[in-house]
Amino acid sequence: LRRLNSAVQYVPYRGALRPRSALRLVRQYDIVADCSDNVPTRYLVSDACVLAGKPLVSGSALRLEGQLAVYNYRGGPCYRCLFPRPPPPDTVTNCADGGVLGAVTGIIGCLQALEVLKIAAGMGSSLSGYMLMFDALEGRFRNIKLRPRKADCAVCGDSPSVTCLQDYEAFCGSCATDKCRALQLLPGADRVSVQQYKALLDARVPHVLLDVRPPAEAEICRLPHALHIPLRSLQDRDEQSLQRLQKRICEEKLRTDDQTPLPVYVVCKLGNDSQKAVKILQELPAEEFGSVVAKDIKGGLMAWATKIDSTFPQY
């Protein structure tokens, strides 16, 4: 950056942004750009900007889509005006879990920098009260008009209840990090380690291995004996997918005495979506699928690559 423009002063802060330091940092600057990848940090930065009276240029990207908005600028809404309550942690996908195309972040980042420069130059922002949506697959931009500032907003409303920064990890029920998250949606009895699964695989125990990753990920790498049915198909109760699962279960049951439940082990990339799939499988009618016991494999295929097969691709 100094080579590009030596007249600009760059001040790096090494460490995560925390409630105890955020307001002090934000007050030193005229404009804040949020490039974070997790919900707690978005609430933290937005609240700090409202309390400090600073505009916030917020950009985000996931997979092939990007969003850009300017909050708390010239009477416009803040982040909490749009999202008063955080979403359930298990419904949030970040870039580490869902992936993102680098070119998308570059496009959103350039547009974000443009809005910062416009505000700094006194030209104003065309995105105050609007959200810009970018669809890289279709190559389209569109602007969505946002709701105006809410008079009853907890932080920027007429009688705010949030007057100081709080514990945003507790508020959101998730960690302020963009690293891969390990969800705990199932009891320990419904989960097995990759080592335990490898042992039963070596012992040739009859079972079904169900891979619930998206099709694009399954094309990158997969265990050859796995049946691939994306989680979305299970959630939608796709008839053709359920028939494929039912057929595989029946085939494996021919290898058993048909007296004990057939284990169905579910795997994904990190062991998060597999837990959601297990919950769905546990609700399937026994008269159609017979007696089965569904369990997920902790850590998913990335744990398999780390602990069992070092030649298995990591992505």
DSSP 91: G
DSSP 8: S
Q: State the Cα–Cα distance between residues 25 and 60, nearest whole angstrom.
A: 22
Confidence (pLDDT) at 181: 62
Cite the active site residues: 95, 268
Closest CA to 209 of 260, 256, 251, 272: 251
Q: State the Cα–Cα distance between residues 5 and 218, nearest whole angstrom.
A: 44
Closest CA to 33 of 55, 7, 4: 55
Q: Which CATH superfamily is domain 19-172 in?
A: NAD(P)-binding Rossmann-like Domain (3.40.50.720)
Between the CA of residue 129 and those of 5, 57, 204, 254, 310, what are the distances in Å? 32, 12, 60, 62, 50
Contact 70, 140 (CB under 8 A): no
Q: Across the 315 residues of the chain, what is the mean pLDDT of every consecutive 10-residue run?
A: 92 92 96 94 97 98 95 96 89 74 96 97 93 97 96 96 94 76 84 97 95 93 96 94 94 80 94 93 83 93 96 93
Confidence (pLDDT) at 141: 97
Q: Where are the domains of the chain?
A: 19-172, 188-308
Confidence (pLDDT) at 32: 98
Contact 288, 246 (CB under 8 A): yes
Confidence (pLDDT) at 256: 80
Write the CB contacts of 81 (distance below 8 Å, at least 6 apart in sequence). 146, 147, 148, 149, 150, 153, 156
Q: State the Cα–Cα distance between residues 271 and 296, nearest whole angstrom.
A: 7
Strands 130-135 and 140-145: antiparallel
Q: What share of the chain is helix, strand, coil (3-state, %, to 5)?
A: 35, 15, 45
Domain covering 188-308 in this structure, CATH number: 3.40.250.10
